[in-house]
Amino acid sequence: MNPATKKKIGIGVGAVVALLGIALAVFLLKRQELLQYALREVKAKVEKKYPVTLTLGPARFTDLNTVRIDGVTLVPTGQDTLLQARRINASISLKTLFARRPVFSDLQIDSARVTAQKTATTNNYAFFFAKKKPTVKRDTTQGANYGLLLNQLLETAFDNVPGEADFRSFLVTYRSPEHNATLTMPRFAIEDGDLTGQLTADIDSVVNTFGLQGHIEPGDYALDAKVYGLEGRPVVLPYVQRRYGARVQFDTVRVSLSDKDLDDDQLTVRGTAWARNFVVNHPKLADHDVRFPRSGIDYVLTLGKAYGAVEKGTKVTLNQMEFFPEVSVRKLPRQQRVMSEANGVESPDEMLAGLQVKANIVSGETKANDFFSALPQGMFSTLEGTQGEGTLTYRLLADLDMNQLDSLKFSSSLTGKNFRLTRFGREDLSKLNTPFEYTAYNDKGDSIKTFQVGPPNPKFVPFDQVAPYLKYAILTAEDPRFFTHKGFMAKAFVKSIIQNIKEKRFARGGSTISMQLVKNVFLTRQKTVTRKIEEALIVWLIENTRVATKERMMEVYLNIIEWGPKIYGVKEAAQFYFSKEPNELNLSESLYLASIIPRPKRYRLGFNNYGEMRRSARYFHRLIAQLMARKGYISQAEYEGLGYSVNFSNPSRMGFVPRPDTTRTVVAADSAQYQPLNLIDLLGGGADEGVNTNTPAEEGGAAPAQAPTKN
């Protein structure tokens, strides 16, 4: 190559380099100009949409397509600053930038501060939710469409998830008259859909430090995320603790959403939720922690117009035990809600008005030991360590229509197959068959007295040494089918639910003698939900494995129940009130003792100050005697000869005083404190219901095969 050629090539290369340099300079200048334009557009769009001032600091490219903005603030009009960020880095598509439609990605925010404040009259963040809050057009006569609402919430949340993001040193504070919250996030990142982060949350003085891991696919509306406590500490839910007085915590929770399908205004979502060491503590639930070591749900949920359902395909797991629930809840349109005394609804706006609930929950056939290990810790403390053979299956059916409350259907059953107990837990249920030490407690949990239940105690009375009158009176008033049922009175329980719903309180019980016995012998006096559930399971075990005979159960019951202040057992009762032995009690005395079992501390309730029986007490005595005569427990002559008085051996000890006017033997009734029973209800009810529970009594029939016989 000659020198002239080399020179020409050099000139050409130089020209190309120069042109490229000029082009690059123009590109960089134009790129920076377009960036400023894009940021002005962002600022104008935000300020047009919201009543705020958005300030963006100096912006520049740090490489070919990465933008750095030093300083961002967002100040609502007339309010304090809501957002500050020291630096934001983001990638920008040059193609979209030159097309003047910039698309940012790979968002990185460093040292951001969100400060939300609320006073009694205003706040600095409401504008954002007012604009973003999804609205659902609905027919107000049919109720809210929860399916459409949830669908909009899900789509709004998923559609605003950035593809790539990295938040560092992020601080969120919230201050209001009701709540204070501080959230500190050292780092949270989204990379190729993978979520990682750490957060310290101080909400109303409840402090949690937890980690977050998971994966999200915004386009598919799919999420799988795990939240777990750090530093060996559980995560405690703050709101429920302050609002409901309950402590709810967990070590790890994993939640997934795998699918959502909106069809004909009904949304169906599928996914899972699992928890490890999920703990609930509330005084009405239990007096200690209730712990679920490993529990979860594979859910299929449907939401629609005033409707929600747990669909077929849902599975709930407690350790090795599986349940398959199908539950639906519907709220009828306002104009279709029935208000009447029959359902206790006074206004169509009441929570229960027009409510319809259906439930069908069945467990898989479960090995006995898997069943006992699946019981939540702290809910069945008496049974902890219990073992058995065979299998158990549980089923619950319920159908409630508040427009037709009396049509309520409810059944709860546990079925055993080749089932037997091989080991008792903390309490030996078989102690009912031998002398044992019993401690009586008051409603506050204080011990009153301790005594032996059995022959070693001179006050113990064998079953056959109790007057038949008293046995029959108690059976008629408390539990007519005690000697034939398996521990429960289904019809009585349903009627109790109906009345309690009508009166919006626990106005009526449905306890059998078996349930009262278990409550007294094995459980505390605390009135909690878990104690009632534990009571039912122990009753089932005793009755279905024949731990004790019915006669022995009745014998123990008669010797431990309270019959008045610090009066325990039938012998003390017979001597205190009548100075008699239990086998010497007559019909009137037996009816009185049966009447005070539900309210032993109010043993004077049926009498005035002169010891004269009030009308309500006379009514009870005649009613029970009539039912006893109809079933052949007493003769018709004994019923007809029943008087209206009870002769106490020491009236002054009862607090009665002599009546100055001896010509008057009966005074007008004062039943303000003793609600009369409904005679029609009592005589026309089902065949397994008692009287003292304010439930219908057994209708006719001969005495049970194992019932007590006259001496």
Dump pLDDT digits (tens) for 23-42: 545 555 666 777 788 888 88
Q: Are 657 and 587 in contact (CB under 8 A)?
A: no
Spatial distance between the Cα atoms of 696 and 495, rounded to a whole number of angstroms: 9
600 token code pair: 């032993």
Q: Between the CA of residue 617 and those of 253, 347, 474, 642, 674, what are the distances in Å?
A: 57, 36, 15, 13, 8
pLDDT value for 25: 53
pLDDT at 569 over 90: yes
DSSP character string of 334-357: GGG---BTTTTB--TTSTTTTEEE
Q: Are 174 and 116 in contact (CB under 8 A)?
A: yes
Dump pLDDT digits (tens) for 215-255: 999 889 999 999 999 988 999 998 888 888 899 999 999 99
pLDDT value for 675: 35
Bridge partner residues of 180 (DSSP): 175
The closest of 692, 684, 706 to 630, measured between CA atoms, is: 684
Dump pLDDT digits (tens) for 123-166: 888 876 664 444 445 455 567 899 999 998 898 888 878 778 88
Q: Does residue 596 or residue 504 have the better pLDDT?
A: 596
In 10 A of CB 459, how many CB atoms? Answer: 14
Spatial distance between the Cα atoms of 386 and 370, rounded to a whole number of angstroms: 11
Spatial distance between the Cα atoms of 21 and 490, rounded to a whole number of angstroms: 92
Dump pLDDT digits (tens) for 292-312: 999 999 999 999 999 999 999
Angle at 67 (CA atoms; ends 66, 68), nearest 5 degrees = 125
pLDDT value for 559: 96
Q: Between the CA of residue 709 and those of 467, 687, 698, what are the distances in Å?
A: 10, 21, 18
Bridge partner residues of 25 (DSSP): none
339 token code pair: 């208000």
Q: CB-based burial of residue 710 (10 Å sphere; 0-12 exposed, 13-18 middle, 19+ buried)?
A: exposed
642 φ/ψ angles, rounded to the nearest 5 degrees: -70, 130
Distance of CA 171 to the CA centre of its chain: 34
Dump pLDDT digits (tens) for 516-554: 999 999 987 777 888 888 999 999 999 999 999 999 999
Dump pLDDT digits (tens) for 61-105: 887 778 888 999 999 988 889 999 999 888 776 666 666 666 666
pLDDT at 15 over 70: no
pLDDT value for 292: 93
Spatial distance between the Cα atoms of 328 and 305, rounded to a whole number of angstroms: 12
522 token code pair: 């094995």
Is the domain covering 428-683 a CATH 1.10.510.10 domain?
no
The closest of 210, 178, 194, 171 to 86, measured between CA atoms, is: 171
Position 673 confidence tier, pLDDT thresholds 50, 70, 90: very low
pLDDT value for 308: 96
How many residues are given for the chain? Answer: 711
Dump pLDDT digits (tens) for 584-632: 999 999 999 999 998 888 888 888 888 888 988 899 899 999 999 999 9
Spatial distance between the Cα atoms of 68 and 89, rounded to a whole number of angstroms: 5
Instruction: Return residue ranges of the chain for CATH 1.10.3810.10.
Output: 428-683
Spatial distance between the Cα atoms of 158 and 584, rounded to a whole number of angstroms: 79
